[in-house]
Chain A
Amino acid sequence: MDSNGINPCRASPTRWAEIPAELLDKISEYLPKLSDVLPMRMVSKHWNSVINSALEHRIMQQWTVWLPFIKLSNISHYPAIDLSPQMIYTWKKVDADYGSCLIREKDVNPFPNNFLNIHCIPSLLYSLQNRIEEKLNGFLAWHGNNLVSLTLVLTEISPDRFQKTLEQVPNLRAFSIAVMGKVRDLHERVKNTESRTEPLQPSPCSKLEYLRICQGTSVNCELIQWLLKLLAPQLKSLEIDGNELPPFDQEHYPVAGSFQKLKWLKIRYPPNLNFLRSGSAFRWSITNLSIQVLGPVVPMQGLLEFIDNFSGSLSNLYLYIEKFVHVEKPEEFLAKKASCFPKLLTLAVNGVGFRPVFQFVKTNFTPRFRNLKTLQLLDFQLGPSIHYGTWSEMLKKEAIQYCEHEGFWKSFPKLQKIEVYPIQLGMPGKGKFYYLQRTN
């Protein structure tokens, strides 16, 4: 054996039929288009098996790799089932496709990977809604136990149906749900079905760790409340894109151990002051927190208090806020809230230069982020009329001068790297950025 424990007698494979799975997986990463990867599944059984795993890994990364911003588009899952009216009306096509491809036999896994995207928008006729639910029920009853990740985009869903759906996917690890449509009906139906407003315990899908709730244009507070109450003790990652998040208090989450496993929290379009002032009742271990508010005014003092809930465990903080209201007496706030963030290593914040958000965050947080190693400056723009359409030497020079002028290296004694994301060109995890490293 050599130092790596590899058997010297084992010859390297010299045929592509025997290429190790991890390398074929690696090669597939260089094929960004699904249409180019899929033919590889048909080459041979070995390639089929490897590419299935690679596709599963690729989709699961949308959950397991931290991207601080919430994607505006839905989580991209394939395959998909379209249960919208035009597909129901042309039922023959549905049966032709799904009959041969999917609903083969009850105990056979019909999925190329263990992912599914079900979308159904919109249904205007109640009778049609029943038929859609019937179809969904039949399909998930047979095959739901194979699913690891599921995206549901629905016009509406009855509480009964929703509970059944969860019971039919016991192996689910990641779930994205968007309900957009007849909110009032749903609101009333959830409200009027007492037995359904109290979640089942224990949870019917005990492996579920990643949850994304995307509300589209409408609000369904009861559904969110019901779902979160059910899943709060087991979630590792929670993303909410909506403006009616129930406060993090024991009235809304009475189950013991709620949020004790939560590591990642992303909130987009949040919260009123009541929400921001909640959270102190729980023992948090959140490491990554992302707050994005585009549009509504954020009461900054509430925001600071909210973030303070996570001061003991937070290592990544991402703040993208368009408008905010100042703290009335920042000195008093700071004196009262003296918690520091010993584990905070990365801070991302927008509003560099002429915008006040960054200056405000800097004033309130800088003294408490003594161990910060990476500072990410988002939407880098030194004046309201400056737009950086292209990557340029001038932009790079401005970024360097700005960072020197602001004295970041002195403010954060352990800072090693500043990443500058010019407006319209990049965000953490995608696009372009410059990085500047400490030189002394």
Chain B
Amino acid sequence: MALVRVISSDGAAFLVSQRLAKRSGKLKTEIETFRKSSDNSEAQPEIRIVTIRAEILRLVLQWLQQHQNDPVLPANQNEQDGRGDAEMGQSQWDRDFLAPMDLGIVMELILAANHLEVKGLLDITCKLVESKITGRTVDEIRTAFKLKSDFKGNEEEQTRLENRWCVEN
């Protein structure tokens, strides 16, 4: 089995199968670039991901491992192929996977999924964030995401009026 060494920003190395790694668009490109530039076809690629720390990279690889046999998601979510409906929903495993995470970790996972081009993971993490925003007041959103208002003077009131203008007509 062909392997690839993926190294996090803090130096932790993960040895994974190339088949699994290629489910990430970014890793796939890196492996193919390595193959083209390497004289030795047996050489093991080594990829440094300088923006993702070990804890997060481990979670991404764990998610990829769990979903390694999923069909590749079509760009258009309404598409259904002639072989049957693709699995579009969030699985119980995904829910259990995300449940213990605080929103700080979720944000890092979103950044990682985006950087590594893992669409399925990006989808479920963005949906989790969406669920923390939908139907919430501004104060509730700020509390959930540990944010403080930095508006000055009447800027916030002005924004509130603009919002009202957008939905009233």
Residue-wise, chain B 146-169 has the 8 Å CB interface mask toward A (1 for contact) of 111111000110111111111111
Q: Which of A10, A33, A43, A435 contacts B79 (CB 8 A)?
A: A435
Any chain B CB within 8 A of the CB of A40?
A: yes
A8 to B159 CA separation, bound complex (whole angstroms): 37
Question: Are B107's CB and A14's CB within 8 A?
Answer: yes
The count of residues in chain B whose C-beta lies closer than 8 Å to any C-beta of chain A is 55
Decide yes or no: A30 and B161 within 8 Å by CB, A6-B51, A39-B136, A43-B138 being known contacts. Answer: no
Minimum Cβ distance to chain A for residue B7 (Å): 11
Decide yes or no: A34 and B162 within 8 Å by CB, A10-B51, A12-B108, A434-B82 being known contacts. Answer: no
Any chain B CB within 8 A of the CB of A101?
A: yes
Question: Are B147's CB and A17's CB within 8 A?
Answer: yes
Residue-wise, chain A 416-439 has the 8 Å CB interface mask toward B (1 for contact) of 000000000010001111111100
Decide yes or no: A42 and B104 within 8 Å by CB, A12-B111, A31-B133, A80-B169 being known contacts. Answer: no
Q: Which of B78, B104, B150 contacts A432 (CB 8 A)?
A: B78
A window 73-121: CB within 8 A of B: 78-82, 97, 100-102, 110, 112, 117
A78 to B169 CA separation, bound complex (whole angstroms): 8
Please indicate the chain A residues that have their CB under 8 angstroms from the CB of B33 in the complex: 3
Any chain A CB within 8 A of the CB of B13?
A: no
Please indicate the chain B residues that have their CB under 8 angstroms from the CB of A325 in the complex: none
Question: Are B134's CB and A43's CB within 8 A?
Answer: no
Q: Which of B103, B114, B166 contacts A78 (CB 8 A)?
A: B166
Residue-wise, chain B 6-45 has the 8 Å CB interface mask toward A (1 for contact) of 0001000000000000000000001001000000000000
Minimum Cβ distance to chain A for residue B160 (Å): 6
Question: Are B81's CB and A23's CB within 8 A?
Answer: no
Any chain A CB within 8 A of the CB of B63?
A: no
Q: Which of B30, B50, B146 contacts A6 (CB 8 A)?
A: B50
Any chain B CB within 8 A of the CB of A16?
A: yes
Task: Please choose the segment from B65-73, B89-97, B124-132 that sits at the chain A interface, where 4 or more of its residues have CB less than 8 A away.
Answer: B124-132
Any chain A CB within 8 A of the CB of B141?
A: yes
Chain B residue with minimal CB distance to A396? B82
Most interface-central of A8, A23, A426, A434 (chain B CB within 10 A) = A23
A434 to B134 CA separation, bound complex (whole angstroms): 31
Decide yes or no: A23 and B111 within 8 Å by CB, A6-B50, A38-B163 being known contacts. Answer: yes
Most interface-central of A12, A20, A40, A396 (chain B CB within 10 A) = A12
Please indicate the chain B residues that have their CB under 8 angstroms from the CB of A3 in the complex: 30, 33
Question: Are B114's CB and A23's CB within 8 A?
Answer: yes
Question: Are A35's CB and B81's CB within 8 A?
Answer: no
Minimum Cβ distance to chain B for residue A233 (Å): 34
A101 to B162 CA separation, bound complex (whole angstroms): 6
Decide yes or no: A79 and B166 within 8 Å by CB, A36-B133, A434-B82, A435-B82 being known contacts. Answer: yes
A window 1-37: CB within 8 A of B: 2-3, 6, 8, 10, 12-17, 19-20, 22-23, 26-27, 29-31, 33-36
Question: Are A437's CB and B81's CB within 8 A?
Answer: yes
Question: Are A79's CB and B82's CB within 8 A?
Answer: no
A431 to B103 CA separation, bound complex (whole angstroms): 33
Interface residues on A, range: 35 or more
Decide yes or no: A40 and B165 within 8 Å by CB, A8-B9, A26-B126, A433-B79 being known contacts. Answer: no
Decide yes or no: A82 and B80 within 8 Å by CB, A43-B141, A44-B149, A45-B150 being known contacts. Answer: no
Question: Are B114's CB and A26's CB within 8 A?
Answer: yes
Minimum Cβ distance to chain A for residue B9 (Å): 7
Question: Are A45's CB and B151's CB within 8 A?
Answer: yes
Please indicate the chain A residues that have their CB under 8 angstroms from the CB of B53 in the complex: 12
Any chain A CB within 8 A of the CB of B135?
A: yes
Question: Are A79's CB and B141's CB within 8 A?
Answer: no
Please indicate the chain B residues that have their CB under 8 angstroms from the CB of A39 in the complex: 133, 136-138, 141, 163
Q: Which of A97, A102, A396, A433 contacts B78 (CB 8 A)?
A: A433
A102 to B158 CA separation, bound complex (whole angstroms): 10
Decide yes or no: A435 and B81 within 8 Å by CB, A3-B30, A43-B149 being known contacts. Answer: yes
Question: Are B162's CB and A112's CB within 8 A?
Answer: yes
Please indicate the chain A residues that have their CB under 8 angstroms from the CB of B114 in the complex: 22-23, 26
Q: Which of A27, A101, A436 contacts B129 (CB 8 A)?
A: A27
Any chain B CB within 8 A of the CB of A294?
A: no
A20 to B108 CA separation, bound complex (whole angstroms): 11
Please indicate the chain A residues that have their CB under 8 angstroms from the CB of B141 in the complex: 39-40, 43
Minimum Cβ distance to chain A for residue B1 (Å): 25
Known: A26-B110, A33-B134, A399-B82. 17 other contacts (CB 8 A): A3-B33, A13-B107, A20-B111, A26-B122, A27-B110, A27-B130, A36-B135, A39-B136, A39-B137, A42-B149, A43-B142, A43-B147, A44-B148, A110-B162, A112-B162, A117-B169, A426-B78
The contact sample of 12 A-B pairs, CB cut-off 8 A, is A2-B48, A27-B133, A42-B156, A42-B160, A44-B151, A78-B169, A79-B162, A101-B165, A112-B159, A112-B163, A399-B82, A433-B78
A residues in contact (CB < 8 Å) with B? 2-3, 6, 8, 10, 12-17, 19-20, 22-23, 26-27, 29-31, 33-36, 38-45, 47-48, 78-82, 97, 100-102, 110, 112, 117, 391, 396, 399-400, 426, 430-437
